Amino acid sequence: MRGKVYIVGAGVGDPEYITLKAYRILGEAEAVVYDRLIPRGVLEYCNPSAELIYAGKAPGKHALSQDEINQLLYDLSRNHRVVVRLKGGDPLVFGRGEEECTYLLEKSVPCEVVPGITSFQSAAAKHLIPLAGRGLASAFTVATGVQSSSTKQRLGYKELAGIPGTLVFVMTASRASRIIDEVASVRGQGEYGAIIELIGEEGESAVCGPLRTLKIHAEKNGVRNPAILIIGRSVELGARYGWIKCM
């Protein structure tokens, strides 16, 4: 028997952010391989008889390596009709879902990706920060705060700052101050930014302000993952209506 593997995005923060399709598939799943940063309560949607396997990754501490996860999904597909790889956010936005799916497809295992709400989508909406909106920004750019070791893929923060619109940096905890500093050198110290940390976890918090102030805050208090940094005029909207604490 060979089953089908679904790479499913569970969204971030609220278990109700999950899609109806993801909810249905979890109810049919015979095996679920789940990540660390899935919303609390999502596992309750799983088929009660499903085999649940934790494959979470914390910085410097992985329950399973990526190669081991790939092989596990393949092995499970040989014994189960419906297998779910459950991830926080969206599987194809810095989620490595494409690696798992292509690995399976190359071994002739049917695979389907079910999209989810990303951390930057949910966090921005929660604090009334439109990533793109009329009169605020006609585009937005999303980048990782962890730069690639490949020079071909690397794009500097100053280069990104030159792109019009809203800038979003995910996985920024260790580099927030540096990113703010380099973006400010292009856009100016008065440009507004917001740091949203511990997204979807107990103690989630958000602060905003001019980049000069935001940098001081990041250096003094540090930034706790999972975190994002949003920079641009859109941040001012959330600040104006009190949806986000502004310094």
- Mind telling me the catalytic residues? 35, 57
Task: For Cα atoms 130, 136, 140, give the angle at the middle one, nearest 5 degrees.
Answer: 60
* Three-state secondary structure call for residue 24: helix
Residues 6+ apart with CB under 8 A from 237: 128, 129, 130, 133, 136
Whole-number Å distance between alpha carbons of 168 and 13 = 18
CA dihedral 228, 231, 234, 240 (to 10 degrees): 90
Whole-number Å distance between alpha carbons of 6 and 50 = 14
